[in-house]
Amino acid sequence: MATSHQPALRDEGVLQSERRPSRHRYRLRLHAEPNVPSLLQQCAAHGLTVDLLQTSYYLGRETLLPTGRSKMWRWRKSLFAYISRKARPATAYFGLPPSRVVELGMQLDF
């Protein structure tokens, strides 16, 4: 999935199928919010059939710990870690069903 810096595309997005059958590319407008399950349904027209009830989505999650030895001031590190915790989760942004998501996480000292 890629975003476009063009002001607008003709439709909400453009689905492109490449020569490789396992690769489908979807281009979105810059401020459009992708809904991955509906995009997978649109891929059926290009030969990719997906059972959405059996699909698992794997996401990475980082927890920022402001305890590392970087040269950034401590209050800035704490503020950055706080903003990162309060950010919108990828599950909501991509429209993924929470019961089908597997999150893999790590803690990062900075």
Residue 69 sits in the same domain as residue 96: yes
Number of structural domains (the chain) is 2
d(CA 46, CA 43): 5
**pLDDT over threshold 60, residue 3:** no
Q: Can you list the pairs that 75-83 forms with residues at least 24 positions away whose Cβ atoms lie under 8 Å?
A: 77/110, 80/110
d(CA 62, CA 84): 9
**pLDDT over threshold 60, residue 8:** no
The pTM is what? 0.69
**pLDDT over threshold 90, residue 32:** no
Residue 64 sits in the same domain as residue 99: yes
Which residues neighbour 20 within 8 Å (Cβ) at sequence distance 6 or greater? none
Confidence label for 9 from pLDDT (cuts 50, 70 and 90): very low
pLDDT tens for each residue of 84-100? 999 999 999 999 999 99
Order of strands across the sheet that contains 2-4: 2-4, 24-29, 13-17
pLDDT tens for each residue of 48-85? 788 999 999 999 999 999 988 888 899 999 999 999 99
pLDDT at 42: 82
- Is 41 within 8 Å of 26 (Cβ atoms)? no
Whole domain around residue 12: which residue ranges? 2-46
Residue 62 sits in the same domain as residue 104: yes
Residue 103 placed within a domain: yes
Residue 51 placed within a domain: no
